[in-house]
């Protein structure tokens, strides 16, 4: 595979700035400013920004520059629906054909989550929120990877990136942390029960995500 084009390089860098918070939501910038910052001509910058606009990260407004978009409630709801729908589809289609994989996943993820909770309890601090978020991200990713569908896996990473997944911590803070913990435990456990139990646990979890997303 050849070296990435200037447009691709610009896209990756600007995308990371947005996701990492280097360009906070609501920031107004411009092609010129980004071009100077990247020491790159405006043509690849413009192409990269147009792609980011299509993906919902920015809005290019004439006479106003480039606006880093906040996540509207409707956009968040739609993206969370996409993620959960992919999880449900993947598990539903794998329920009979990959029961051994599901049982193994239940055991390994239940053990890992229990270990994380014990570790967090011993430390008695809020420093483990990022670890809970990482666990949650990997759990949903494992569910989707059961589908062996590369497009769904790609969509999962795109959707969680657009949701600023790692920056949304409210569900793991008081007063929601206990509720979220129980829902994740039930989600894992339901894999050993039946598909309806999993569906019910999944949609309870989705409801909490939507209530607590910033």
85-124 tens-digit pLDDT: 999 999 999 998 998 999 999 999 999 999 999 988 877 6
Question: Are both 64 and 77 inside the same structural domain?
Answer: no
Please tell me whether residues 197 and 106 are part of one structural domain.
yes
- The CATH number that applies at residue 64 is 1.10.10.10
Residue 92 shares a structural domain with residue 140: yes
Same domain, 120 and 18: no
Q: What span, in angstroms and rounded, lies between the C-alpha atoms of 100 and 115? A: 23
CA–CA separation, 153 and 149 (whole Å):
6
**What is the total count of domains within the chain?**
2
Greatest CA separation for the chain: 58
Considering the domain architecture, whether residues 140 and 198 belong to the same structural domain is answered as: yes
Half-sphere CA count of 28, side-chain side, radius 13 A: 5
Residue 1 lies inside a defined structural domain of this protein: no
What's residue 93's pLDDT? 93
- Higher per-residue confidence, 63 vs 174: 174
pLDDT tens-digit series, residues 7-46: 999 999 999 898 888 888 788 999 999 999 999 999 999 9
pLDDT for the residue numbered 70: 72
| CA–CA gap between residue 114 and residue 85 (Å, rounded) | 26
Is residue 29 assigned to a domain? yes
Q: What's the rounded mean pLDDT across residues 134-138?
A: 96
Q: What confidence category does residue 126 fall into, taking pLDDT thresholds of 50, 70 and 90?
A: low
Are 45 and 93 within one domain? Answer: no
158: region left, alpha or beta (phi > 0 left; psi from -120 to 50 alpha) = alpha
Does residue 4 register a pLDDT over 90?
no
Among candidate residues 68, 87, 105, the one where a domain is terminated: 68
Q: Are 61 and 16 within one domain?
A: yes
The C-alpha angle with vertex 197 and arms to 192 and 199, in degrees rounded to 5, equals 115
Q: Is 186 within a domain?
A: yes
* Host domain of residue 146: 73-212
Pairwise CA distance, residues 147 & 27, whole Å: 38
């Amino acid at each position: 595979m050849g070296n990435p084009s200037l447009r691709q390089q610009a896209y990756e860098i600007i995308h990371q700035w947005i996701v990492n918070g280097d360009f906070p939501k609501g920031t107004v910038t411009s092609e010129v400013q980004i071009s100077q910052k990247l020491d790159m001509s405006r043509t690849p910058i413009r192409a990269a920004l147009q792609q980011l606009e299509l993906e919902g990260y920015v809005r290019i407004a004439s006479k106003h520059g480039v606006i880093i978009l906040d996540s509207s409630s409707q956009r968040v709801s739609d993206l969370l629906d996409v993620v959960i729908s992919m999880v449900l589809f993947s598990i539903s289609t794998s329920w009979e054909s990959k029961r051994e994989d599901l049982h193994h996943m239940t055991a390994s993820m239940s053990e890992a989550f229990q270990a994380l909770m014990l570790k967090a309890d011993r430390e008695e601090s809020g420093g483990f929120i990022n670890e809970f978020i990482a666990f949650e991200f990997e759990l949903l990713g494992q569910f989707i990877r059961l589908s062996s569908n590369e497009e769904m896996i790609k969509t999962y990473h795109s959707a969680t990136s657009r949701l600023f997944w790692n920056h949304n911590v409210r569900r793991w803070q008081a007063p929601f942390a206990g509720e979220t913990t129980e829902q994740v435990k039930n989600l894992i456990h339901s894999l050993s029960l039946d598909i309806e139990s999993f569906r019910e646990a999944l949609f309870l979890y989705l409801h909490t995500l939507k209530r607590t997303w910033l």
